[in-house]
Structure 1
Amino acid sequence: MDQIKRGTLQTETFYDRVGGEPTFRRLVHRFYEGVAADPLLRPMYPEEDLGPAEERLTLFLMQYWGGPRTYSDERGHPRLRMRHAPFKVDRAAHDAWLTHMRDAVASLELDPEHEEELWNYLVYAAQSMINSD
């Protein structure tokens, strides 16, 4: 019987399975295209240029899904609720965020099981950011 030698079995992360960094960059870029024109969400981003916010979300999602740890190396622990606390995130903001993210996820044309896994996380994450009625 053949045996797998210790250390030779590699586990592929979700990050790898969906195409790595280019996929997450496309996802977040498409998302921020929607945010840029959204009258409810755009004021939540005080920077004139959405580029820094886009980069932060890209790095966070890449790390979360098994990619490089650049986000934590540069910014420390994500502390998502704390970082969003200064902003009023109500059901309307939640819904707008998910609308733009739904479009961005669909634009990736992932395999259905990967799309579902990603989408389920994003729905959970959006729900956990609500901090206002």
Structure 2
Amino acid sequence: MTFFEEIGGLPTIEKIVATFYEGVATDPVLAPMYPADDLDGARERLTLFLAQYWGGPTTYSERRGHPRLRMRHAPYAVTPDARDHWLALFRAGLDAVDLTPEQDAQFWEYVTHAAQFMINTPG
């Protein structure tokens, strides 16, 4: 069984991401990084990426190719402050679902590492 299946599959990922983007829409640091007319597209892309990363369908790669996360985020100034806002909102997403402490820790470890890796502009 994949981690994707263990945590409840697509409905769990969708809930995490929906909660995250509810916060993004009004966040003073993150909202300007997201085109207002493509917030739904960003939500879908993150959902598909996370589903694939954790062992679910490969729809993300089929539609968009290799994730290339740093390249895709290069046009945005990802500062330590932006990382902190992103992580706070993602924490809310994880808190909105019913993961075991072990599952939560595994997910959180990945996103904290990924968020740190995405920093491309000093604070």
Equivalent residue, structure 1, for 2:15 = 26
- Greater fraction helix: 2
How well do the aligned residues superpose, as a CA RMSD in angstroms?
Answer: 0.7
Number of residues paired by the alignment? 122
Shift of 1:47: 3.8
Equivalent residue, structure 1, for 2:115 = 126
Equivalent residue, structure 1, for 2:25 = 36
Structure 1 distance, partners of 2:66, 2:52, is 11
Structure 1 distance, partners of 2:97, 2:114, is 19
Q: For 1:1-133, what aligned pairs fall within 5 Å after superposition?
A: 12-133=1-122
Bigger CA radius of gyration: 1
SS in structure 2 at match of 1:63:
helix
Shift of 1:49: 4.0
Structure 1 distance, partners of 2:63, 2:54, is 17
The 4+ residue runs of structure 1 with deviation greater than 3 A are: none
Identical-pair percentage: 56
108-117 or 42-51: bigger deviation: 42-51
Structure 2 distance, partners of 1:68, 1:48, is 26
Relative contact order: is structure 1 or structure 2 higher (C-alpha 8 Å, sep ≥ 6)? 2
User: Do the aligned partners of residues 123 and 40 (structure 1) sit closer, same or farther apart at CA in structure 2, a change above 3 Å counting?
Assistant: same
Matched to 1:16, the amino acid is E
TM-score normalised by the chain length of structure 1? 0.90
Structure 1 distance, partners of 2:106, 2:36, is 31
TM-score normalised by the chain length of structure 2? 0.97
